[in-house]
Each structure stands twice: as structure tokens, then as C-alpha cells.
Chains A and B, each alone.
Chain A
Amino acid sequence: MSTEVTGVTEVVVRLKLSLLRNGLRQSGGRRAAYIASAVVALLFAALQLLGLIMLRGTAHAGSVVILLVAVLALGWAVMPLFFPGGDETLDPTRLVMLPLRPRPLVRALLAASLVGIGPLFTLCLFTGSVIAVAHSGLAYVVGVVAVVLSLLVCVALARAVATANIRLLTSRKGRDLAVLSGLVIALGAQVVNFGAQRLGSSGLAQLDPAADVLRWVPPASAIGAVRSVSEGSYGTGFLQLALTAAALMALITVWSRHLTRLMTSPDGSTLQAVTEAAIPERKPTGLTRLLPAGRTGTVMERSLRYVWRDPKTKAAWVTSLAIGLIVPLFNALQGTGSIYFACFAAGMLGIQMYNQFGQDTSAFWMVALTISSPRDAYVELRGRALALLLITLPYATLVTVLTTALLGDWARLPEALGLSFALLGAMLATGAWTSARFPYSIPQEGYKNVAPGQTGLAWISIFGGMIAAALLCAPVIALTIWLNVSEDGDAWTWLLLPAGAAYGAGTTWLGLRLAAPRTAARLPEILTAVSKG
């Protein structure tokens, strides 16, 4: 029996290693990326380790360490939800055809989870945490147990969460969620940044109340135990350690139950829904009725639906909206801002006009089959630009007004708005033209936004386009500068609002006019370019 058990464990660990190795063998770039990320992770771990050792003996070391462990455990819990493709051994349904019993399988999968950069990183951090708070021989002994226990808790937590959510992870909704994960991480980084700044200003003592609670929550409780033992409270320490062990057992039980159920019940995705016909008829929304008839309204409606429903498009939009708001407002809040930063909103949202047909993916054939003249192409592009304006115009105006309010610089509002509109027009014009001239594929799976081999095209399209847009804006920028430096110019800066708006509208019109015949003439080439990957 025991040889069989080690057999399964060994095979699964080997499987994990082979998967890692084969993943690296696929391409040189991937290998380089993996090695680079491993080096960065280990460097980071080493720095953390060093930092934690230096923390030893400082007043709030205990609180810092407990919080760190808790945050790391949280990371282990949410990671499988956002990176479902990351670890193929996380999907035990792939092993469903093999004659395996649950107990050896659980052990084997747990062992396999300990292989990788993530566990190594965690191990470094936990070891550092123990060194930071242990002050006696006994504390070190408890520390060794604590490190092993908490590492196992983290790994089991990830496995349990992944198994419980396997239906979600392998479904379309789960994959959609994964595309948005980059955003969650970016926003999370902002929160951490904000928190760190607050800590920097008001000291580590702020952490203590949180740590008082978390030192009873596994796996942070294991590190809490080391601290308690160091302070001589052996009873508390033992309790905390026991709590961690109990949590580990509970997690493994839950995981094992889910695993057994998962591997012995049919896959729900192949069962036909009986109640399909029960979905009520959807009434056209108010917006749909407001849109113009004909191709223009049809194109606008589809574009707007995609902003909401297509995960890639949604992620791009949310990023643009967030950055377009954060940059001018945060700068204004910190007192380093200028009202001209408000143009960021228009610029960021204007980027969405770039690579319009790439956003369609190979479904562009449906559009291509209905474009038979430059006029059709013009209406198509104009519809897309109008859909974009429907969101961008009010948003850019709002951001500009907010920034102005924060800075209290109301005199400059007209010129900032005028500049925004001129920039937006230039972005729409160059976006339409590069969409026709330099289209590229956006892979629907994973995090990449450019298909392999088209990176150069994407660079030309986006950066060439942006430089061209900036150049196109030059007259309005020059006028702004001239009015600001010349005597009595200030009296006339309000003129920049109508001038900028008219200039933006004019460049957009011209850009669409120039892009339309190119689009109509290059339909097969565009389709080929956007169908890769």
C-alpha cells in the first residue's frame, strides 16, 4: 500500500515538473519570461527575507509579520480564480479516467502543489517571518512547525478554492473573469500604494488592531504562535498552533470531499438546459430606441454592447476610464497638478478608436461582407466613432470640470476643454486611419493584446498614431500658448473652447473620409490581419 502511495505522489510531482518544463520548451520568449519572473520573484523574496530579519527586535515586527502572512494567504486563495490556466494539475478532472483513490490523490496533488516558484517564494517569506519574531530556542522549534503548517495551509487553501470553483474556472464566465484579473491587480496595487503612504505618514502602530485579530486566523496564527512562545505565553502559542493544524485538516477534508464529488458526477456543461424557453423576451432598451436608424445606429449599438459584454473590450475601456480619471485628479489632489492633465481623459479614451477591426476579431468577415463601397466603410467607421463619443464626450468634460474644481482654476476651463476636444478629434482621426492601414489581431484568450508576430504592427499603429495625433493638435496647442503668453491674450482664451471643438470635429471628419476608401479597398487584407491567433 505504502509503495503505491509514494508511487502516485512521485508520478504527480513528476507530471508537474514535466508540465513546467514543456511549458518552457514551447518558445524561447516564454522561457525567458519564466526565468526572468523567477529571478525577480526570488530576488524579491530574498529582499523580503533580509527586510524581515532586519525587522527583528523592532516594536511592531509582530504585527507586520502577521499581516504579511495573512495577505500572502489571501493571495493563495484568490490566485486560482484569476489564473485558472496557470496550473494544469489544479484541474483534477483531467485525472478522472485514472484508477485513483481519493486519499493518495489528495496527498499527491498537495505534494505537487509545493513545486514551483510560488511555494518557494512563500517559504522564504514565512522563514523570514519566523526569524523576525522568534527569540528563544523553543520559539525556533515552534517556528519550523509553523512554517511547514502555514505553507501547507496556503497550498491546501488554493487547491480547495480551485476545486470548489472548478465549474466556474472551466466555464466561459470564469475565463471572462480571468481577463479582468489584470485590472484587479492594478487596482489592488493602487490600494496597497495608498495604504503604504498612510502607514508612512502615521506609523506602523496603525497595524496593531488588525494584527490582534489576524493572529487568531490561520495560517497567520502559526506565526502568532511563534511570537506567543517567544513572549513566554506557551498556552496561547500552543492554541494558535493547534488552530492552524485544525484549519489544515478542515481544508483537506473539504477539498477531498469536493474532489470525490467532482470525479464521480457527470460534467454539468454537457447537460442540456431544459428551461431555456423560459427566458423572457427582452424589450429594446431606451438607448436602442434613441440611436439613429440604419447602419449608423446598428453599428453604434453593437459597439456599445461590446464595451459591456466582451471581456477584452471591457478591460481596455475600464483601464482607459480609470487612468483618464486618476492621473488628472490625483495630481490635482496632491497639488502638483495642472489643468492640462485633464486632456489625459480624452487621450486615453481616444486610444479605443485604434485597431477597431482587430477588436472585432475574425468576426470582421460579417462586416466585410456588408461593405461594398467607400460610403459603407465611412458609415461603419463613423458609427464606431459616434459610439465612442457617446461615452467619451461627457466623460472627458466631467474629468476636466472636476480637475478644474479641485484646482479652482475656472478661468482656464474653456481652454482645457477646447484642447481635450481637439485631442479627441485627432485621436479619432488617426485611430480610424490606422485601423484601416495597420490592423492587427487581439487574441481572445489570455492576457496578450497582440498576436505573435504582429507586435511591430501594433507599435506602428498605436505609437505612430499617437504621435500623429499630437502633431495634428499642434495648431490648437500653439494657439493656446500664444494666447497665454501674449498681452491681453487672457481675455480671448475662451475662444479656445469653440475653436478646439470645431478643430476636433473637422479632423475627425477628415480622418474618417481618408480612412473609408482605404478600408473599402483593403477588406480581405484587414480580415487576414485580424484573424491571426
Chain B
Amino acid sequence: MTSAVSVRGLWKRFGQQVAVAGIDLELPAGKFIGLVGPNGAGKTTTLSMVTGLLRPDQGTVEVVGHDVWRDPVEVKARIGVLPEGLRLFERLSGRELLAYTGRLRGLPGAEVDKRATQLLDVLDLAGAQHKLVVDYSTGMRKKIGLAAALLHNPEVLFLDEPFEGVDPVSAQTIRGVLERYTASGATVVFSSHVMELVESLCDWVAVMAAGRIRAHGPLAEVRGDAASLQQAFLELVGANGRAAGTDLDWLGGGAR
């Protein structure tokens, strides 16, 4: 089995704080891969370093066999990215944003426009294509970001919290597109802290906590004997069985 992404000894510190503390990871190609962990586990930092948007302190990253930092020409053409917490060019309309991104990627104009029309249709954005992105809702922003990431048909797609703050209808649309994309043999790597989502979507997961990988492998393997991925995850990060305690005993019940 070939690796889509291969990470070795990856470190990142911000001042005193260690965000990513030595990650080694091989992500198999052609899978729907979930990177799960609580807030602050280092998921965004890891994905930023893997996609070349943040320089690691130490370690190497290879995407489909090419080093991200030494061979950016090969890597950047093969990956699509939807980061979290970074803006888009929001003063462009949805269609203009796609036209801009596609042409920056070096695709011929006619081809960009054809693909953009199809993506806007499938992602249910055709009606809002001439609206400025600054006026889009969260769900629409994620969808236009996804369209921009898919436009050049990348081999590996990195999505940071693609379902965060997205309504159920948009989430289902995104899901449909991603499932079709992986079915064709492409790889999706996405981060999330919603276990149910990861469990229902992914066939391979890596669990992150406090800057380290706690477990990784096919979903069934990581889940093990636990009833759900949620349970397995809580056991892994050691947050299970925290008693509710006797505080808040006034909450609910009769007297106000």
C-alpha cells in the first residue's frame, strides 16, 4: 500500500508552548482519513505544516512521494486545501473566486469556467454565484472553499474542520461530493472533533491529543472493543468516567 502523506518527526513550538510534539504518520492513499482530537490538540498546526502553509521546527513531510519543502512545484499541484480560520478573497463573488483560483493554478480559462459552473451547481451555490463571498453564510463559505480546493482535481485533499458551523443540508452536500471524490481513488484528509461524523465518514483515523498521535489505523482497529469511536477516543485521551459530582444540585427540579 502506498502512502498519500508521510510525516516524520514533526515538531512545532510557539514560544513556550509545544503545539506538535514529534509526529510520525503514514496516511494510506485512496482512503477517507479522519484526524480527530479535542480543541487545541494540534490538528490545525499539523495540517498547516503538511500543506506548506506553516514551517515546521523539525521533521519532514512527503505528499505522494514529494517533499513539501524541497519540491513545492510537485506538491502544490497535487494538493487541495481548505484551511480553518483563514479568510478567502471575500470581495470577489463566488464565481469570480473560482475563476481567480483556477487561473492562478494555471488552468486554461475555458476549462476553469466549465468546472466552476459544475461545482457551483453540485454544491448548490449556483443561485449565489454572483454574490460577494463576504455576504455568504458559514456553510456557503465552506462550500465555495471546497470548490476552490477541488478545481484543479488534486490527488490529496486536506480539509480543516470542513463541517464546523455548517447546516445539515450543506453538510450532506459536502459529504456527497467528498464520497464521490474518494470513490475515484483520491485521498481526503480531514480534521474534526465530532466523533460521530468521523465514524460515519472515514475508513481510516488518526487520533491526536496534546500534540501527539495517540492511535492510528483503520477505523475498526482504533475503535477496538469500545461501543463507539467516541468511547474509544475518551479512553485514549483519558477523559472517560469523569463523575458529574454533586455540584449544580440546584439545577433543574422544582424550586427556582
Interface residues of A (CB under 8 A from B): 172, 276-277, 279, 281-282, 293-295, 297-299, 301-302, 305-306, 309-310, 360-363, 365-373, 523-525, 527-528, 531
Contacts and interface: CB of A to CB of B under 8 A. Distances in A.
B104 A309 contact: no
A277 B126 contact: yes
A518 to B, nearest CB: 15
Nearest to A278: B127
15 contacts: A172-B134, A277-B126, A277-B127, A297-B103, A301-B100, A306-B89, A362-B87, A363-B90, A365-B86, A366-B89, A370-B101, A372-B75, A372-B76, A527-B53, A528-B54
A295 B54 contact: no
Interface of A is mostly: helix
B55 A305 contact: no
Interface of B: 51-55, 72-73, 75-77, 79, 81, 83, 85-92, 96, 99-101, 103-106, 109, 126-128, 130-132, 134-135, 148
A305 B52 contact: no
Contacts of B148: 366
A362 B86 contact: yes
A524 B55 contact: yes
A191 B148 CA distance: 47
Contacts of B106: 294-295, 370
Contacts of A276: 127-128, 131
B72 A373 contact: yes
Nearest to A284: B99
A524 B52 contact: yes
B59 to A, nearest CB: 14
Given A295-B106, A298-B100, A363-B86, A369 B76 contact: yes
A372 B72 contact: yes
Contacts of B96: 305
Contacts of A301: 100
A140 to B, nearest CB: 55
Contact of A298 (B72, B90, B104, B126): B104
Nearest to A299: B104
Contacts of A299: 104
Contacts of A369: 51-53, 76, 79, 81
A366 B104 contact: yes
B122 to A, nearest CB: 16
Given A363-B88, A372-B77, A295 B52 contact: no
Contact of B103 (A295, A310, A367, A528): A295
Given A295-B106, A302-B100, A366-B148, A361 B54 contact: no
Contacts of A293: 109
Given A370-B76, A372-B72, A373-B73, A282 B130 contact: yes
A524 B91 CA distance: 23
Contacts of B109: 293
Contacts of B77: 372
Nearest to A383: B104
Contacts of B92: 302, 305, 309
